[in-house]
């Protein structure tokens, strides 16, 4: 069994489960532009885990997420295949010091340990 360093596993912000519909635009690993509908699985103030991406993305690339009337630039921090043609992607907002989803602080109060 391999233990992870606490510095690598500790999150700076609370994640809460949230399914928000998104439009994602960017360039896939082959340099081809794409745009598709996706959704979040969970969010924090400046990051998200999204699903329903059908293009393989590269870590450190940027994508644009359109949520309601907001256009937010995110950095791809990880990708994970979820079958033959779908990926989950971890995103971190670029240049956003404040909350990117347009929610209030109480919207992130999910309780202790996610309960």
Question: Number of folded domains in the chain?
Answer: 1
Q: What is the CATH number of the domain that holds 64?
A: 2.40.10.220
Domain range spanning residue 79?
Answer: 13-97
Q: Kindly state the tokens that stand for 63.
A: 């994508």
Domain assignment present for residue 44? The answer is yes
pLDDT band at 95 (very low <50, low <70, confident <90, very high): confident
Alpha-carbon gap, residue 25 to 91, rounded angstroms: 13
106 by DSSP, 3-state: which?
Answer: helix
Domain assignment present for residue 102? The answer is no
Alpha-carbon gap, residue 83 to 66, rounded angstroms: 25
pTM of the model: 0.81
Alpha-carbon gap, residue 70 to 81, rounded angstroms: 27
Domain assignment present for residue 3? The answer is no
Which residue has 């896939």 as its token pair?
A: 28
8 Å CB contact between 54 and 88: no
Whether residue 40 has pLDDT greater than 90: yes
């Amino acid at each position: 069994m391999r233990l992870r360093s606490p510095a690598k596993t500790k999150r700076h912000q609370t994640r809460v489960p949230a399914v928000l519909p998104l439009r994602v635009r960017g360039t896939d690993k082959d340099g081809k532009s794409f745009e598709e509908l996706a959704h979040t699985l969970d969010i924090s103030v400046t990051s998200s885990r999204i699903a329903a991406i059908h293009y393989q993305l590269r870590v450190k690339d940027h994508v644009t997420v359109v949520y309601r009337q907001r256009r937010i630039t995110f950095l791809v921090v990880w990708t994970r295949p979820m079958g033959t043609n779908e990926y989950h992607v971890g995103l971190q907002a670029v240049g956003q010091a404040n909350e990117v989803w347009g929610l209030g602080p109480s919207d992130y109060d999910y309780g202790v340990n996610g309960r």
